[in-house]
Homo-oligomer: A and B are copies of this chain.
Amino acid sequence: MASTTEENYLKALFNLSNPAGEVGISELAQHLQVSMPSANSMVKTLHKSGLLIYEKYKPVTLTQKGKKEAALIIRKHRLTEMFLVNKMGFGWEEVHEIAEQVEHIHAPKFFERMDEMMGHPTVDPHGSPIPDKQGRIQEMHFKSLAEVQPGQEVVLVALRDSSIEFLEYLNSRQLSLGTELRLISKEAFDESIVVSYLDSEKETLSQKVCEKLLVKIYESNKSSH
């Protein structure tokens, strides 16, 4: 069975994979805050276990087996986050650190029970999809708020950044998943955006923020159903 360290490498590889599925060693090392030789050495170990493809001086690629293992750890992480928020009353900014530890617990029934108690949720508290028991992931292709045109109405459905800092920023603006936003105007100069939400408060959001907010175009007043 994979050690906690190996599991953390798998997760990192999964998350860092570019569309071609490749990850460079230095990228990996940086993400995990270890030296390149450490990453290099672990990559060789994972290669021997058939979890990734490794050739000298080339970026590495997870195998099917590696991807599945990674996805199942991410499943445990996201189920835990959702459980902490929905069943234990934590805020969405508090759960990552705890889930980072709980995800390494080997106890299928424990996570099964969480899943059941929540009625098989499909996304975590930040809107990221929860892989299924086979490790399959439902990729979502949401637009970011930065791509939306003035006048449109949208619902906040997911985040591209789940750092505590960003989540606390959103908390301070009373922005949460499900919040309906109307895009009032866009400033051509710096691409900042003015939105209204929650009983017509008005708020300016920087482009940096907008890019991290994933939304669904809201079609309440169109022929959508």
Interface residues of A, count at CB 8 A: 18
List A residues at the B interface (Cβ < 8 Å). Answer: 84, 87-90, 94, 97-98, 101-102, 105-107, 109-110, 113-114, 117
Contact of A113 (CB < 8 Å), options: B90, B102, B107: B90
Name the CB-closest residue of B to A105.
Answer: B101
Name the contact of A97 in the complex, choosing from B84, B90, B107 (C-beta under 8 A): B107
Q: Contacting A101 at CB < 8 Å: which of B98, B107, B109?
A: B107
Q: Which residue of B lies closest to A104 (CB)?
A: B101
A114 cross-chain contacts in B, Cβ below 8 A: 88
* One of B105, B106, B109 near A94 (C-beta < 8 A): B109
Contact B97 A113 (CB under 8 A): no
Nearest CB in chain B to that of A101: its residue: B105
Bound-state CA distance A89–B97 (Å) is 25
Given A102-B105, A105-B102, residue A117 in contact with residue B97 (CB < 8 A): no
